[in-house]
Amino acid sequence: MANKKIYIGSHVSMNAPEFYLGSVKEALSYGSTTFMFYTGAPQNTYRKPVNELKIAEGRKLIKEAGLDESKLIVHAPYIINAANKAKEGLFDLSKDVIVSELQRTAAFGASILVLHPGAHVSQGFDLAINNLAEALDEIFERDGTNVRIALETMAGKGTEIGITFEQIAEIIKECHHPERLGVCLDTCHISDAGYDVHDVDGILKEFDNIIGLDRLLVVHINDSKNPRGAHKDRHENIGYGYVGFDTLYKFIHHPLLDNVPKILETPYINEKPPYKQEIEMLLSGKFDPNWRDSFN
Ligand code: FE
Ligand code: FE
Ligand code: ZN
């Protein structure tokens, strides 16, 4: 087990002038073996054309560094909502944005796009799940790629859907292209949604029974500022929240998750990224309770 390869990294930025090349450099500077990025700002749908993003240069560095491109993750913007049809403009825009995000993901040589399932607003879970499955059908008929969408397990803030494994399984069942769908399990979100995140074996068993572990494409490794069931979705640094270091360490090293990329989305501390230290501790298993002090 000593040299077991673990796919671990964080979300990274993509800014001028180096764009994707800069993203790859940032990931490598944390000691990452994979990473996640947004192809533009997470909060809006404005996107620069892919030919301006130094993709070839980034991919060259990925190859030189020995990273496995099939483990890279793209995250879709979060303001879209393909689960509610009441606002027709937003429903159509959301489908267009997801089609474009799938095509952009393919242009980076990546094959997994994380998507928040959306919110039912006032329509209830069942209708929202139908709407999303219908939207996904149309999206997969239009996009022309083989990129898979990983539906993220959500915390249950507001009227979010996808907050139980059953809801995620239902979306996959209703979609006519289930081979294009997988799941992103977020440790902060499942705890906030009400799962006992500390029972890692139990969680994975339940996931396997309801969804199937073969669908688990990525795990988001985050601590939570709030207790189990709080439905808040506020991420905390590793070891400082209600999930805790030992549980997050178990997710990183669990044999059932060997090939699954693990991505940290923990908050910056005094405008500095915490990922190098967090990744180091999660790999070594040695938690330093004062590690954040060096950021002050
Ligand atoms: Fe997310
Ligand atoms: Fe997440
Ligand atoms: Zn979150």
Contact residues for 28 (Cβ-Cβ < 8 A; gap 6+)? 61, 65
Residue-level pLDDT at 88: 80
What is the reported pLDDT for 87?
A: 85
Tens-digit pLDDT profile for the chain (296 aa)?
Answer: 445 789 999 999 999 999 999 999 999 999 999 999 999 999 999 999 999 999 999 999 999 999 999 999 999 999 899 999 998 899 999 999 999 999 999 999 999 999 999 999 999 999 999 999 999 999 999 999 999 999 999 999 999 999 999 999 999 999 999 999 999 999 999 999 999 999 999 999 999 999 999 999 999 999 999 999 999 999 999 999 999 999 999 999 999 999 999 999 999 999 999 999 999 999 999 999 999 998 98
Q: Are strands 223-224 and 235-236 parallel, antiparallel or unpaired?
A: antiparallel
Residue 246 makes CB contacts below 8 A (sequence gap 6+) with none
Report CA(183)–ligand 2 centroid distance (Å).
11
Where along the chain do its domains lie? 3-287
pLDDT at 1: 46
Residue with tokens 């339940």: 206
Identify which ligand lies nearest to the alpha carbon of 262.
2
Q: What is the pLDDT of residue 4?
A: 73
Q: Report residue 124 as tokens.
A: 């209830």
Per-residue pLDDT at 3: 55
Q: Identify the nearest ligand to the CA of 156 by its number.
A: 3
Q: How far is the CA of 168 from the centre of ligand 2 (A)?
A: 15
d(CA 117, CA 171) in angstroms, rounded, equals: 9
Cβ atoms of 71 and 34 within 8 Å: the answer is yes
CA 261 to ligand 3 centroid distance, Å: 17
Ligand index nearest the alpha carbon of residue 224:
3
CA of 220 to the centre of ligand 1 (A): 8
Class of the CATH-defined domain 3-287: alpha beta
> If you measure from the C-alpha of residue 233 to the centroid of ligand 1, how many angstroms do you get, rounded to a whole number?
10
Nearest ligand atom owner, CA of 185? 2
Question: Where in the chain does DSSP place strands (E)?
Answer: 8-12, 36-37, 73-75, 112-115, 148-152, 181-186, 216-221, 223-224, 235-236, 262-264
Ligand closest to 187 (CA) is: 2
Residue 220 CA to ligand 2 center (angstroms) comes to 5
| Residue 2 Cα to ligand 1 middle (Å) | 31
CA of 1 to the centre of ligand 1 (A): 31
Provide the residues around ligand 1 (an ion) whose CB is within 5 A. 152
